[in-house]
Structure 1
Amino acid sequence: MQSVVDFLNSIIWSPVLIYTCLGAGLFYSIVTRFVQVRQFKEMTRLLFSGKSSEKGISSFQALAVSLSGRVGTGNIAGVAAAIGFGGPGAVFWMWVVAFLGAATAYTESTLAQIYKEEDKGEFRGGPAYYIEKAMGQKWYAWIFAIATIFACGVLLPGVQSNSIGNAVEAAFGSGEMIETAIGTYSLAKIITGTLISILLGFIIFGGVKRIASFTQVVVPFMALAYIIIAFVIIALNITEIPGIVAMIVGDAFTPMAGFGAAIGWGVKRGVYSNEAGQGTGPHAAAAANVQHPAQQGLVQSFSIYIDTLLVCSATAFMILITGAYNVHGAGEAFIIQNVAADIAANGPVFTQMAIESTMPGWGKPFIAIALFFFAFTTILAYYYIAETNVAYLRRTVKFPGMMFVLKVVLMAAVFYGTVKTANLAWAMGDVGVGLMAWLNIVGLVIIFFLSKPALKALHDYERQQKEGVEEYTFDPVKLGIKNADYWERRLARRTQDSEASDEASGKPVNPTA
């Protein structure tokens, strides 16, 4: 299984995809005139401006759901892997892909808002929806939907639960070994996998509102607690920061672990962590209740900064300051070896050791707890994404019990991932991320050259900003955007309500309105 998955990754994660991710981010940064910088103040204002409704969730809840997907195992174990296989310079390339990816995140999330639909009282949207409506290629949308259900329902949840299991085992011991039908595993991992699956089932059977309610409380709390611990460690070693930054930037352009390896691992783990261009974030963005599609695009763009430039950087600085890492070279050789050779880079141990070295007795249990919340909320986000794509397929083909099957399969995948080896779990996760990234980025580029809907929405929003409007409106027909059915109906209802109000108050009604 490991060799098959590694072979698939060698094809999917070829240099072509790595440079495509960087290139797409640079392209959208240029065409939006670096919206991720120009609109930074507006991003922060919008975070708390929207309100939830019966059909949709607020901008902040959508941010929390998408952050629950972005802020996960990739921020702890993923950063360690990037350093372990790509050297300290990989962190620089994580920063680059985050900065450029913020423009990609704006684009894909705005598209999700433009082409969202109402489904059984809830908003639904994402790449499958905007690929069908903006590209007009339903077969391509189906391929994305199927790949996403497989990735988020089967492959990716195991990465998250695996890190929880490894962290719990490292913190509290493995206990006795138990023989099961699928292999022999530690008691600690079996108990952990069972508890995660039960708790997961309780929440996902409650629907998107329960997921949003859970994540809007947990995500800010867990991210803040983790960052505080990281900042304490950084503050205690503040004099080393200039040297660490110099090492990160310097190693990004040297053959520390191979120039290509630094870029490859930095981009791979950067995309895995912040998900810009991967196509996962737009699903939560579509569920938000906002006045204008560009608003949620800006909010989702800001989430990239929180994930990579803040949380991932905190992890990287902790690991590098304390020297709790190895850098793998070719074969079994190490370019740098600071810790035991048998400590896997694809796991949370580097981060646990970094905290433990500064705060003895805290490292292992704290990371175990942090990873539980980080990874568990990410699994919830994966479920919501898979559910949205099942809902998309269900519009055309009716499969009785599809949602129930998805829930059961996801719970089984979570348990299986908890007890399996880290390398296999991460490799399978990389397959899922790579497939989605390929399909989504190609779709984004084609859509841009066909009709530029996300760019038109940005220009329209910035025009209204300059006019100082109190309430934003979005007229897709006026902008030349086709198939934005929800927004067309919304504008029509608003016009009718306005005319009815004017008629009731005795004002003349504009017959051409």
Structure 2
Amino acid sequence: MENFVNDIVGILWSSPLIYLCLGVGLVFSIMTRFLQVRHLKDMIKLMFQGKSSDAGVSSFQALAIALSGRVGTGNIAGTATAIAFGGPGAVFWMWTIAFIGAASAFIESTLAQIYKVKQDGEYRGGPAYYIEKGLGWKWYGVLFAISAIFAMSLLMPGIQSNSIALGLENAFGISPFITGIILVAIIGIIIFGGVKRIATVAQYVVPFMAVGYILLSLIIIALNITELPAVFALIFKSAFALDSAFGGIVGAAISWGVKRGIYSNEAGQGTGPHAAAAAEVSHPAKQGLVQAFSVYIDTLLVCSATAFMILFTGMYNVEDPDGNFLRESLPGVEAGPAYTQAAIETVFPSFGAGFVAIALFFFAFTTIMAYYYMAETNIAYLTRGRNSKTPMFVLKVVLLAATFYGAVKTAKLAWALGDIGLGIMVWLNVIAIVLLAKPALVALKDYEEQKKQGLDPVFDPEKLGIKNADYWVEEYKGEENRVS
């Protein structure tokens, strides 16, 4: 089973996808004139604007939902595995895909806003919707929706629950079976409460857990501040084959850095747009910019926090593609949260294992919560105009079962299954946003022009020649009537 799964992972995550993600992010960065730098001030300002409504959530709540999906096991266990199989240089490539990936995140999230719909009293949107409405390829939208449901409900929750179970067992000796039951109970209460409950939980839990984790990493960095130049040098030398120890695995550094970077920040994956579409904003570009900033929060802050703790303390192993250890500081320790736990333990004895276990619990259970919302949105897409109660109930049961299964299974199998789910979504979504980038670029130009005029940007798709943005046509005309 594991060999079969690993073969599929090898096909999905072959070199073409790695370079496609890097290339698309770079092209979008150039086409948007590096909006991730130019509009940094707007990104931060827009996070706290807008209010929730009966149909949608605020910009910050949408950001929190997206971050609850992004800030998860990938930040702790994913960063550790990138270092374990790609060496310290993998961290540089995680930063790279985050920086250029912010442009990809803008494009896909702006598209989600442009082509969102009001369905059953709630805003819905995401790749399936913009593929059908923007490209006119319903079959492709259906294919993405099915793939997303499969990935979000069946393949990917197990990574999160597995990391929680490993962390709690290592720190407190809690059986994975017990952890699985607790997770199912808590997540069940939240997801049966609907998107409003998900948004409410996310907006309080996500900032709390991220800030606490980053603060601890800053303390560890401060205590080892003299090592900062050496750690940066190690990262950059390893990324470009200039380090004697890790120079021979530069290909693995790029591959693992990009793969784990995408898994963590989800830029281009097609997950962020689901939450972006739910936001109540006056212009699609506003939420696109907010979602672009979420990539920074995830990788440049939280993933970097993990990487620095591990590299500063030296608590990591590095394994080459042949299975030989280039560095083995933790004999017999499986790549994952144990690296971060060991790193914190060197500075705060008897504290690291427990802290990471608790952080993982909050990080990962909010991610599973976000996975449910994304899968639910794709169920809603497939069942438009029909009763969706039964499919939604089945979805909840499948996701909870996958969560429990992941908690009691091996980490390698859980990660491999997750990589399959992620790989399928990335392939389908990246191709779609490449073909459909123009409306998002037009929306960005319109936003910038209205800002220059001192206006609060309002979106009129008919004026811009964007077709099938039906929600916005009705909204703009309604706004005109209210003003007149």
Shared fold per TM-score greater than 0.5: yes
SS in 2 for 1:118: strand
Q: For residues 389 and 173 of structure 1, what CA distance do their matches in structure 2 show? A: 38
Alignment of 1:280-359 (within 5 A): 280-340=271-331, 342-345=332-335, 347-359=336-348
Q: For residues 410 and 400 of structure 1, what CA distance do their matches in structure 2 show? A: 16
Question: How has the CA–CA distance of structure 1 residues 387 and 278 changed in structure 2, closer, same or farther, with 3 Å as cutoff?
Answer: same
Q: For residues 10 and 96 of structure 2, what CA distance do their matches in structure 1 show? A: 23
SS in 2 for 1:395: coil
Kept in 1, the 8 Å contact 2:380–2:388? The answer is no
Matched, 1:456 2:445: no
Question: How has the CA–CA distance of structure 1 residues 133 and 480 changed in structure 2, closer, same or farther, with 3 Å as cutoff?
Answer: same
Q: For residues 337 and 385 of structure 1, what CA distance do their matches in structure 2 show? A: 39
Say which one has the larger Rg.
1
SS in 1 for 2:318: strand
TM-superposed CA distance for 1:397, in Å, is 6.2
Kept in 1, the 8 Å contact 2:132–2:140? The answer is yes
Which of 416, 419, 422 is 2:408 aligned to?
A: 419
TM-superposed CA distance for 1:396, in Å, is 6.3
Matched, 1:233 2:224: no
Q: For residues 150 and 248 of structure 1, what CA distance do their matches in structure 2 show? A: 36
Which residue number corresponds to residue 466 of structure 2?
A: 481
Alignment of 1:429-448 (within 5 A): 429-448=418-437
Q: For residues 315 and 439 of structure 2, what CA distance do their matches in structure 1 show? A: 46
Which residue number corresponds to residue 266 of structure 2?
A: 275
SS in 2 for 1:258: helix
Aligned-partner residue type, residue 263 of structure 1: I
Kept in 2, the 8 Å contact 1:79–1:315? The answer is yes
Unaligned runs of 5+ in 2: none
Kept in 2, the 8 Å contact 1:106–1:297? The answer is yes
Matched, 1:491 2:452: no
Q: For residues 195 and 121 of structure 1, what CA distance do their matches in structure 2 show? A: 32
Q: For residues 65 and 139 of structure 1, what CA distance do their matches in structure 2 show? A: 28
Alignment of 1:104-253 (within 5 A): 104-173=104-173, 188-253=175-240
SS in 2 for 1:51: coil
1:356-395 deviation digits (Å, cap 9, x = unpaired): 0100011110001000000000000000000000000001
1:140-198 deviation digits (Å, cap 9, x = unpaired): 01000000000001111000000000001100125xxxxxxxxxxxxx11110001001
SS in 2 for 1:335: strand
SS in 2 for 1:288: coil
Q: For residues 442 and 397 of structure 1, what CA distance do their matches in structure 2 show? A: 29
1:380-417 deviation digits (Å, cap 9, x = unpaired): 00000000000000016656500000000000000000
Kept in 2, the 8 Å contact 1:6–1:427? The answer is yes
Q: For residues 371 and 377 of structure 1, what CA distance do their matches in structure 2 show? A: 10
Aligned-partner residue type, residue 461 of structure 1: Y
Comparing 287-296 with 322-331, greater Cα deviation is found at 322-331
TM-superposed CA distance for 1:256, in Å, is 3.1
1:68-118 deviation digits (Å, cap 9, x = unpaired): 000000000000000000000000000000000000000000000000001
Cα RMSD for the two superposed structures = 1.0
TM-superposed CA distance for 1:336, in Å, is 1.0
Kept in 2, the 8 Å contact 1:82–1:265? The answer is yes
Matched, 1:78 2:62: no
Q: For residues 267 and 444 of structure 2, what CA distance do their matches in structure 1 show? A: 18
Kept in 2, the 8 Å contact 1:257–1:327? The answer is no
Q: For residues 312 and 400 of structure 1, what CA distance do their matches in structure 2 show? A: 38
Which residue number corresponds to residue 402 of structure 1?
A: 391
SS in 1 for 2:281: coil
Q: For residues 258 and 231 of structure 1, what CA distance do their matches in structure 2 show? A: 29
SS in 2 for 1:167: helix
TM-superposed CA distance for 1:257, in Å, is 5.0
Q: For residues 399 and 253 of structure 1, what CA distance do their matches in structure 2 show? A: 51
TM value normalised by structure 2: 0.98
Which residue number corresponds to residue 21 of structure 1?
A: 21
1:318-375 deviation digits (Å, cap 9, x = unpaired): 00000000000133310111111x2111x20000000001000111100010000000
Kept in 2, the 8 Å contact 1:218–1:373? The answer is yes
SS in 1 for 2:436: helix
TM-superposed CA distance for 1:121, in Å, is 1.1
Comparing 471-480 with 370-379, greater Cα deviation is found at 471-480
Q: For residues 13 and 372 of structure 2, what CA distance do their matches in structure 1 show? A: 24
Q: For residues 57 and 399 of structure 1, what CA distance do their matches in structure 2 show? A: 22
Kept in 1, the 8 Å contact 2:85–2:321? The answer is no
Kept in 2, the 8 Å contact 1:151–1:429? The answer is yes
Matched, 1:383 2:382: no
Question: How has the CA–CA distance of structure 1 residues 330 and 487 changed in structure 2, closer, same or farther, with 3 Å as cutoff?
Answer: closer
TM value normalised by structure 1: 0.92
Q: For residues 61 and 225 of structure 1, what CA distance do their matches in structure 2 show? A: 19
Unaligned runs of 5+ in 1: 175-187, 500-513
TM-superposed CA distance for 1:119, in Å, is 1.2
Q: For residues 53 and 388 of structure 2, what CA distance do their matches in structure 1 show? A: 29
Query: Deviating runs (4+, > 2 A) in structure 1?
Result: 396-400
